[in-house]
Each structure stands twice: as C-alpha cells, then as structure tokens.
Structure 1
Amino acid sequence: MSLTDTFVRLRYRLLPDHVFGEILTKKWVDSAIPFFALVLMIAIFGPIVPRFFEFGTLSILSGELAELGLVVLGLAVVMISGGIDLSVGSTYALAVTAALYGMNVLGLSLPAGLALTLAVGAACGAVNGFLVGVLRMRAFLTTLVTLIIGRSIFDIVFPKISTDIVMNAPNSPAYDVLGMGHLAGLPVSFWGMAAIALALHVVLSRGRYGWRLLAVGGARRSAHNAGIHVRRTVFSAYVLCSVLVALGGFLFAARIGSAASDIGAGLELQALTATVLGGISLGGGRGSVAKALMGTVFVLILSSALLALAIPGPVNQLLLGLVLVAAVFLDVRWVKNRHKLLRAVYISPTFAKLPEAIPTDSGVMQPNDRLRAAEPIGLGIMDGAEDVIFDRDDNLYTGSRDGDIVRWFAPDYTRHEIFAHTGGAPQGMTFDAEGNMAVCVGGMGLYQVTPGGEVRLLTAETNRSWTSVADDSVMKLADDCDILPDGRIIFSEATVRFEMHDWYADALESRGNGRLIIYDPRTKATCTVLGDLVFPNGVCTSYDGVSVLFAESWGCRINRYYYAGPKKGRMERVIEGLPGYPDNINRASDGNYWLALMGARTPALDLALEMPGFRRRMARRVSQDAWLMPNLNTGCVLKFNEQGEILESYWDLGGTRHPMITSMREHRGALYLCGIFNNRMGRLALPQADQSWCGVDTYWGAK
C-alpha cells in the first residue's frame, strides 16, 4: 500500500465522519437547540440580574414554574396531536375565577374547590374538542374564537364577583399549604407539577394513549387506517389540555389569593413560545414533556429577568414575540431540512482496497453458459425469493417480497401454498433437528416457523457495542443463518446502520457495519461474536464440526469462524479476491460447498472504493439512481473445498435465465437456484452428484 493510500485509510478510520450522522439520528438532538438556548440565556442574565442565583429567587421561580408549566404541558399535548389551542389564556382566567369563588366565597374544601375548577377547565376543553375534533373545524380559527368568547365571559362575570372574592378568605388549611407551603425549600405546588409531569411523560412515551397522540399528530389518515379513533383522540387532547390549564390556574389562585382583571392576558403567547422553543412541532407528531419544560424555564427566566431589570411590559411582550418568531422559523426549517441534512452526512464512506480479482479468462473460473440449462420453477409467480431450502419430504420453501414463506410441493413443484406469513422479507432459512425452520427476516430479526406454520420471534436484539453512538442492539438486516451441532443458531446481520431497502448505501460506505451473532434457544441469550464485517452474508456450518463459513459481500471474500475446538473464537480467510459479490453458502453432496455470486465486480467501483472523498461527494450531490453501486446483473455459482480452492463455476452470461443469484441448494441430484430480483427459480440437473442426497440429513442424520 502506498503512502498516500495509508494516509487516506488512516484519515477515514481515525476520524469517523459517520459519528456525526449517528448523533443526528438520536431523539435528544431535537432538544439540543432549546437546551443550549437556555444555557446561553442563563449565562447572559445571571451576572446582570440581582440575586439571580440565590435560593430564594429559585424558590419563587419554581412556584411560577408550576403554574406556567402545567399550561405549557397542556398546550404541548394538543400540539403533539396536530392541533393548537389559543384559548388557554381565557381558560386560565375562568379557572382562576372559579377557584377563587369556590374557595373564598363558597368556602369549599380543597377537593371540592379543585373539582369545581377542573370541571370548568374540562368544559372549556370539551367545547374546543367538539368543534375541532368532532366537527373537524380549523383549530387555529376555532380556538381564536373561543379565546374571545372565554375572555368575554370572564369580563362579564368577574366584575360582579370580584368584591366578594376580595372580602372573603378561604377556610382550608390544605389550600393554604398548597399555595404557601414548602417542601425541601421548594413550593409544594412545584412538587405537584413535577409529579404530574413525570406521569405525563410515562403516558406519552410508554403508554398506548401517548403513542396514539403521536400517530394522530404525525399522520391522521394513516392513524385512522391503523384503527385509531382519530376524532376521539383529538377531543381528549383538548379536554386534557384545558384540565391541565385549569390546574395551573388553581395553583395560581392558591398562591396569590386574588385576581386582577387582566389575569391570563397574553398567556397564550408565553405558552406558545415555550412549546415551540422547546421543540414541540407545530405540525404535530413530535414533542415530549422534557422539551416543554425546557421551553417553560426559558420563557419564565426571560420574563422574570426583564421584569427585574425594570423593562416595560410592552417591551417584554415584544421580545417574547421575537423569540416566538425565531422559534417558529427554526422549527419549520429543522423539520423541512433535517432529513436532507441527515442524508447528506449519514453516509460516510471509508477507504477500502480490494485485492486483485481471481482471473476469469481461463481455468475453472472462465465464464460459460452452464446455467442456461436450468429448468424454470414458478416462472412469473415467484417474487423476491432470496433463499431456497428443502425438508425431508422433498418439499421446497422460498420467501417472497410480500413477507410470505411459500411451500412448493414435490415432485414437480408446480403446486404451492402459503406456508407462513412473517410480516417482513424472509432471507436465509434452515431446519433444526425437530423440523422447525429458523428464518432471518429483514428489518425484524431471527424467527422460527414450526412445522404447522406458526411464526415465533426468537430474537430481535443483541448486546450493544460499547463504542457505538447509535443503539446497535436492535437488528436491522439479519440475512442468513445456520444451526450448529449443539442447536445454537448462528446468523449474520449485514449492516447495523442501514435498512434493507438501503443496502446500496452500505456498499458505498464499505465501512464494516455487519456482524456475526449466535442465539441459544436453551437460554434465550443472543450474543455478537464477530463485528466490523463488510456486509456479512451466507452462513454455512462446515463439515469439520468446529467452524462456520461466511461471506463478506462487499469485501469479496469468504471467511471461517471457529465456534469450538483449539481455535475457538478465531477467524481465518478462506478465499480472497472473488470476481463478484458472494452471497449464500451451502453444503454440496461431495463434501464441498456451493457459493452464490450475486453480481460481478466492476473496475469503476473497485477504483472508487479507494477514493472515499469521491464517494462521499457523490452521495451528497448526485441522485441515488446515478450512484456507483455493485453490479447485480450477472450471477454465478461456484463450488469450493475446505481449503478455499475453487473447483467449478456455473454462469449465465446473457442473463437470460438467472441474471442474479443470491442462493442455491443442492437436493437429490439437482441444484436449485434463486435470486431476490428474479421472477423464477431454476433447477439444474447434476448427473455426477449423489441422487439421494438431502442437505437436512447431513446435519441431523437420515430419518
């Protein structure tokens, strides 16, 4: 390797650009902007506002935080569901009025006064929910109207009862504790708000109701198609919002003990600024309790600091309005461009120099047309058969693009039925000693299908890497499997960074994003045994009883991993420099192995692998359909022995029968071929092979 190649290789290994892209995929990234904005504001106002960091100041702010925080949490619930509530200010004013009248004038107990206040809030929310959720009126205009109506009701009622409120006092010690009491130096109301916020966080992030809110806010039509009662969900969101607003008003009444005629005026601006600044999306479907509270703290500190600096009220409102405009701008731009930014930086190619390809101009590797003699099976019926396998009754099984496992009946394989439905894309398959099928399902994990067609999840997670930024414990593309003599299942996961439909991006990176995993059915434990593999694929338990063979597709090589014996845990190269991209490996009747090449190497892509900067620019500036990617149009089948010596090759040069081959399986004197992009299977007679040989018997013995 030249000095330049060494430098480029070290640069892209030691400075992993993909880390930035993985950081952008984290959910907490949405909270980064409001968090740093909050830190910046504290750094600005802390030194210039008198007694800013004193505990007494923090205690007073925490009491105000309890009241404003509940209002913001309520508005956040509505916004997450895809709506908006501009009437929170008038609802707040009516709730404060109800609380003061009930506690001061009527002399109600704390539970009765709280129930009255929450009932007023629920009534306001029910009106909004009915108009917006049930009648499907525009949320912005509807709540603007209810804001005006609610404020008008307050202006009519409050002057008539304000004197009675001022001239009377509540007769409830518990009410006094709620308004003026402290626990651990902080107001009781703050601890109550914290408990409600924690409960709401659990509901939104772990509860079914929270998931429905997010689904409705993200895509109402899709949520409806998924069986969610959209109107009921939206209605409940508005009711919950107003109940939380009313609770905030009750805490305010308990703390202040009276009210002015401008109570709640401008509160909708504060609450909306806090929610949007905190990262609650105006479009719905995105948000959390933590984000809402961060926005609340920001608005509260800003307002309190401006008040302490004797900034006039109109200027305070002006600054809040400017902050809201900036927050809305950032929210809209972030939602619109986050995917583009992530796509631009997520793909991070590295230096990969492939060895010279094994010559194909002479010898056993010389191209031929031997596969053209293959007879078609399921022509025009099959779609997306990535692997093929036989049971002991000679029935043939393949996967399909629809997520089905199809059983084709012997002996002519013209009749077929849906054996099982996995819900994903079935990849590699194998049978255990009891006749259960283990199958890798792309995007879902490792599954088991019983002889009766019942589908069971075996594992969808493995141990997380200590050095990974993104959570790589969840499987994205399990693709081939085999069973060890002790019953454990060993399988490959091609990539931990890309989904199945983005396989070409992993080829562009060639970073080593794959791994080899073992699942133990007895202990239900899953463990990664090898990592940093370049699109590991076909896995085959070898005849030696201590190792497995597996392919690295984009590395164009075959490896051996020792799961037992003196070399346990070690990996060795078996074949390097293949002229194409290896896929599945399976046993042959003569003690050797069959290998599928799903496509041939091209000089342009081989050269581009040594130019990671070029590939990165290509991923950012060129549409995906114009990217350099592996050529999957010319398939080939090879036979090799334990030492890695290639013994035979089978080609279809014109691609007339089998342009792409992802797997093959020998069974009773014939070789069966399939390809994930083909609309058929193929059966090629092998006159020199053992005509009674069945692959399952070589694992578990003849029945």
Structure 2
Amino acid sequence: MGLKGIIKFFTFRCLEILVVALVIFLIPGLPPYAKISDSYTVKSAKPFEGKLALNNRLELAEKWHEGEVHGAESFASFNGELYTTLHGGDVVKFVGNHITPIVRLGKPCSSLHEEKTCGRPLGITFDKSGNLFVADAYYGVFKVNVKTGEKTNLVSMDAEINGKKPKLPNSLVVAQNGDLYWTDSSTEFILQDGIIDMLADGSGRLIHYDAKTKTNTVLMENIHFANGLILSDGEEHLIISETGRNRLHRYYLKGPNKGKQEVFIDGLPGLPDNLRSDGKGGYLVPLVIAADADHPNIPHIFAPFPKIRKVVARLFGLLDLCFETLNNYYPCAFAQKATHFIGHFNSMTPMLPKRATILHISKTGEILDSIHANNKNFRTFSEAFIHKDTLYLGSPFNNFIGRVPLSKIGWNHLVQNAVPTPKPVTQPPPTQKPVTQAPTTTPRPTTTSSKPTTTTQKPPVQPQVTPTQAPKPKEAPKQQTPSAKQQNPPPVKQQTPSPPKQTQPPKQQASPPKPQTPPPAKQQSPPPQKQQTPPPKQQTPLPKQQQTAPTTQKPGKN
C-alpha cells in the first residue's frame, strides 16, 4: 500500500469516527442523563518551586498491611485507636497489627464488583463522645457505636434534599453541638460512574445536618465533585475540596461573612481529596491524582468544550448500558464486572501519573510544605492522617496503607501527644520551693545549687522569725520529736547534716558567720535541729523531693 493508500485509509476512518460521534451527540435520550453544557477552565498548576519543590521524602514511607486491605479511603482515631474504611463495605480498627472488623453498612457480597450491594464507606469521623459517623457512597450517612456495632441511618439515599436525592455521600465532619456537615459529591452519578461525573457539569453539594431537627440544608451546590471536608478549630468556617477543578473552597459559618463562600486556594498541581487537620490549625491536603503541565488531566483538557465532553460521556454511557442490559437478560459475572469497571475511577489507574503529593497548608491557605514520591507503585493517596507520631496514607486504589514516622519527613512539630511535658513538671518544683521555703524555714538542703543562696537569705529572715519561733524551739523538742518522725524527719535531719558540710567550705561560711553571730548560741547550738524540727510542718512539700537523699544515717552521726 502506497502513501496515498495510507492517507486514504486514515481519512475514511476519521470520517467514520466523526459520523459516529455526531450520531451519538445528536440522538436524544441517550445516557448519561445529566447536564453537560457548561464551558469552564481549570487554573494552571502552581510551579514546583519554593515550598512546592519536588522531593522524595514521601518515598520513605512503608507499605503496611500490604495485601490485607484494599481501598483504605479514610482514617479516624479515638482513645488512641486507629480506624479506617475499606472496599467491601467494612469499617475496621487496628489493634497493634491486628485488623478488627467494627461494622458493615451494606449487605453481604462475594466480590468487589458488587460494590452497590456491599456498600462503600468513605469518610469517617468521631464526635467528642466516641460516636463514629460514616458516609457510605451507596447507603447514606450513619452513626455507629464502635463498641456494639449498632448503626443508625441518619441520612437516607431515598430522602430528597432541596428537591434532589443524594447520589454519592463522601466526606463529613461533626461540630461541637453534634451537627454534621457532609458532602454529596454528585446528584447525577453514583460512585462507580465517577469518571462520567467528571466529564459532566458539577452537581456536588455541601450539606448541613441539624442533629436536633434531623433535617438537611444545602449550603453550597454545583461543586464539581465535592469531596474532602474539614472544620476550622474555632468552627468559623469549612474548607471543601472541589476535586474536579483542583481547588479548595471556604464556607463561612460565623462572623460578618456568615453564609458566604470563596475560593480558598486554587491551581493545585493535582486533584485534592480528603482533608485533615495538622493539629496546629493548618491542614493536610493529598492530591490523589497528579495534574500539571507535564501530566495534563483529560477532563481538564476538554473542560472548555462541553460538546466533546458530552460525546465522550455518551460513549461511556452506551457501553455501560450494553453490559447492564446483557446482565439483565443473561446474568453473568462478566457483564457485572464490565458494568462496574466502565466509568469507575479504578479503570483509570494504569494511565495515572506516578507522582504523589501531600501538601501542608496554613489556616490562611499558604503552602507551608510539601512531600512527594515519584514511584508508580506508591501513589494515588486520598488521605494523609496524623495518628500519634506517624503519618498514615490512605488510597481508594492501593492494597496497602502507607505509613511513615513524622520524624523521617521533617514534620516532628506535628507529633501528637508529644512527651516533653514531664520535664517542665519536674523542673519547676526546685525553682518554686526555694522561693516559698526561703522566707519561712530556710530550706538549705533542697538542692545543692540553692544552698548558698538560702544561707545568705537566712540571716535576714531569722531576726524576723526569732521572736515568734524562739519559744517554739524550747517547746518543740519535747512534742515535735515524735511528730518529726511521723512527718519523715529523715529528710529534715538530712537537711541539718548536709548544710554543715556545704556551709563549712570557705565559700559558704564567709557570709553565714556574720548573720549567725547576732543570734548567739541560742540559735546555733540547738537551732540546727530545733529550728528545723518545727519547719517540717511548713516543709511538708519538701520531703517528697528530699526523700531521695541517701544520707538518712547522718543524723545519728550528729
């Protein structure tokens, strides 16, 4: 075949494709039955520089429970225990390395392609009382008792909300008063037709569920695949992922802007998914699918051309309709798997870019840091969740959970329940006790570093105390010797021998002789024991720290 024959062949094939496309586009009543008419553009991705500079820190993560879990979409923790949602409809808990089933919201099924029967739990969150809330893509929003497995359906898929039934409950958060905010990713397509929804006009919604009235109110609509959701620390606003357009929105719940919405951050180099708090007022944003100048997203390419998007969407719809009709007349696993596969996000995984990115942004939308991976076997992360000192990475596609210590990726400052608290607890007492004891009972032996200072403070204090304490030493030896034994006198007696040893050096005796000479032998011969025997009543906090002194036999020597 010559060159002219080759050109002729491809010309006719192109004409045939064009005719088929026109027929598909012009024939009314063909699926999908959704609005595809808006022309829009997606903002160009931010350049990989500064805080967005590419790195390999995310590749330091390990594959946890590889082959044992599939599609760990989202995480939540309560009482130090980690929970996640899986393909197959299960919510599970990790006890050490053991996986414990908690609840299944759907019906029993035999395979993942029966997703509509199994159910697909996506977002999960706990309230302050330990109740677990779950958004299932096929069954609605539930409240679950994790101890008993009892479940309560709060939002049904059959209940119309502002004239439309929910089709894809996705993410949710709970407020302090028990109200829920949740996203319905689409009012046109179910989860297994997610790709078709990305080609159609946005129909996602942000919805408020009032726990008292048990009613739902639409706060935002026409979001192009409404996805992740996070509530600010002060509950002033919500941040929502618009996955279809690579950006985040902010919706105000309080203040002068109450009820208003705005773009929080735009031009992300990927499709944002679930949102999680960093524990410091900021947010963690995973980009489940990379999208930049080197990795263009197909729906974004056709975004300005609704007619082309409609033709492509109808191709998916017609293929889906063919296999669905076949399964209705001749039920078989092949037709069921084909119906599930066509239009499902899982069908895209072989073509997805290999870059993975997790963003750390501030409460004002500033990118603080980013971690990346450039490995096709370690990508498509839908959530980055901090649990104690570890970052857990979820994915709707992977058969493992990513896990990496925060210290390895340079996020030590985000560690939860860090343990520097005991240090300030042990350090302040020595600094506070000399201050409280110095004016009353001259706590010389509390710490070796404070003895020189206490000995210098005693002289001015003793002249004021001698008139009140002078009679007490005379009566105290008889009555307080037994009480001293009850109040752990050893530490007090430890104070008497230790000061002499430390006051005898020239550094300490240089100052004490002068102040101790004014009170004659009355205070120097008996006082080491008589003035410090009464103080045990005032030095009750001291023995706890001074009981560790090893010189318990020294009083006998004196």
Q: TM-score, normalised by structure 2?
A: 0.58
Paired residue for 2:45, among 357, 373, 392? 357
Distance 2:35 2:290 in 1: 23
Paired residue for 1:448, among 135, 139, 143? 143
Distance 2:246 2:225 in 1: 10
State yes or no: 1:574 paired with 2:269.
Answer: no
Q: What is the CA-CA distance between 1:527 and the residue it aligns to?
A: 1.5
CA contact (8 A) 1:405 1:426 kept: yes
SS in 1 for 2:374: coil
Q: Which residue of 2 aligns with 1:237?
A: none
Distance 2:376 2:54 in 1: 12
Paired residue for 1:421, among 104, 108, 111? 104
Q: What is the CA-CA distance between 1:373 and the residue it aligns to?
A: 1.0
CA contact (8 A) 2:393 2:401 kept: yes
SS in 2 for 1:342: coil
Q: What is the CA-CA distance between 1:620 and the residue it aligns to?
A: 3.2
Could you say if the C-alpha distance between residues 356 and 448 of structure 1 is closer, same or farther in structure 2, counting changes exceeding 3 Å?
same
**RMSD over aligned Cα atoms:** 2.6
Distance 1:626 1:526 in 2: 29
Q: Which residue of 2 aligns with 1:348?
A: 36
Could you say if the C-alpha distance between residues 593 and 609 of structure 1 is closer, same or farther in structure 2, counting changes exceeding 3 Å?
same
Could you say if the C-alpha distance between residues 546 and 632 of structure 1 is closer, same or farther in structure 2, counting changes exceeding 3 Å?
farther
Counterpart AA for 2:203? N
Paired residue for 2:204, among 494, 497, 514? 514
Q: How many pairs were matched up?
A: 344
Q: Which residue of 2 aligns with 1:221?
A: none
Could you say if the C-alpha distance between residues 464 and 544 of structure 1 is closer, same or farther in structure 2, counting changes exceeding 3 Å?
closer
Q: What is the CA-CA distance between 1:566 and the residue it aligns to?
A: 2.1
CA contact (8 A) 1:370 1:651 kept: yes
Q: Which residue of 2 aligns with 1:649?
A: 370
Q: Which residue of 1 aligns with 2:477?
A: none
CA contact (8 A) 1:562 1:569 kept: yes
Q: What is the CA-CA distance between 1:485 and the residue it aligns to?
A: 2.5
Distance 2:220 2:126 in 1: 23
Q: How does 1:475-624 map to 2 (within 5 A)?
A: 475-509=166-200, 511-601=201-291, 602-603=295-296, 605=298, 606-621=300-315
CA contact (8 A) 2:230 2:275 kept: yes
Distance 1:433 1:566 in 2: 28
SS in 2 for 1:554: helix
Counterpart AA for 1:573? V
CA contact (8 A) 1:585 1:593 kept: yes
Could you say if the C-alpha distance between residues 432 and 358 of structure 1 is closer, same or farther in structure 2, counting changes exceeding 3 Å?
same
| 1:242-292 residue CA offsets vs partner (Å, 9 max, x unmatched) | xxxxxxxxxxxxxxxxxxxxxxxxxxxxxxxxxxxxxxxxxxxxxxxxxxx
State yes or no: 1:370 paired with 2:57.
Answer: yes
Could you say if the C-alpha distance between residues 652 and 690 of structure 1 is closer, same or farther in structure 2, counting changes exceeding 3 Å?
closer
Q: What is the CA-CA distance between 1:635 and the residue it aligns to?
A: 2.9
Counterpart AA for 2:104? H
SS in 1 for 2:195: helix
Q: How does 1:101-500 map to 2 (within 5 A)?
A: 341-343=29-31, 346=34, 348-360=36-48, 362-392=49-79, 394-410=80-96, 414-423=97-106, 424-452=119-147, 453-460=149-156, 464-465=161-162, 472=164, 474-500=165-191
SS in 2 for 1:689: helix
Q: Which residue of 1 aligns with 2:360?
A: 639
Counterpart AA for 1:417? T
| 1:141-192 residue CA offsets vs partner (Å, 9 max, x unmatched) | xxxxxxxxxxxxxxxxxxxxxxxxxxxxxxxxxxxxxxxxxxxxxxxxxxxx
Q: What is the CA-CA distance between 1:570 and the residue it aligns to?
A: 0.8
Larger strand fraction of residues? 2
Paired residue for 2:413, among 685, 689, 695? 689
Counterpart AA for 1:645? E
Q: What is the CA-CA distance between 1:518 and the residue it aligns to?
A: 1.0
CA contact (8 A) 1:481 1:491 kept: yes
| 1:68-106 residue CA offsets vs partner (Å, 9 max, x unmatched) | xxxxxxxxxxxxxxxxxxxxxxxxxxxxxxxxxxxxxxx
Distance 2:297 2:228 in 1: 25
Distance 1:464 1:372 in 2: 43
Counterpart AA for 2:91? I
Distance 1:604 1:451 in 2: 40
Distance 1:591 1:681 in 2: 25
Could you say if the C-alpha distance between residues 632 and 439 of structure 1 is closer, same or farther in structure 2, counting changes exceeding 3 Å?
farther
SS in 2 for 1:503: helix
Q: Which residue of 1 aligns with 2:484?
A: none
SS in 2 for 1:501: helix
SS in 1 for 2:244: coil
Distance 1:679 1:566 in 2: 46
Distance 1:496 1:613 in 2: 21
Counterpart AA for 1:527? T
Distance 2:138 2:202 in 1: 18
SS in 2 for 1:487: coil
Larger radius of gyration: 2
CA contact (8 A) 2:128 2:176 kept: no
Distance 1:405 1:345 in 2: 33
Distance 1:434 1:416 in 2: 23
CA contact (8 A) 2:137 2:167 kept: yes
SS in 2 for 1:355: coil
SS in 1 for 2:189: coil
Could you say if the C-alpha distance between residues 425 and 579 of structure 1 is closer, same or farther in structure 2, counting changes exceeding 3 Å?
same
Distance 2:251 2:343 in 1: 37
Counterpart AA for 1:367? L
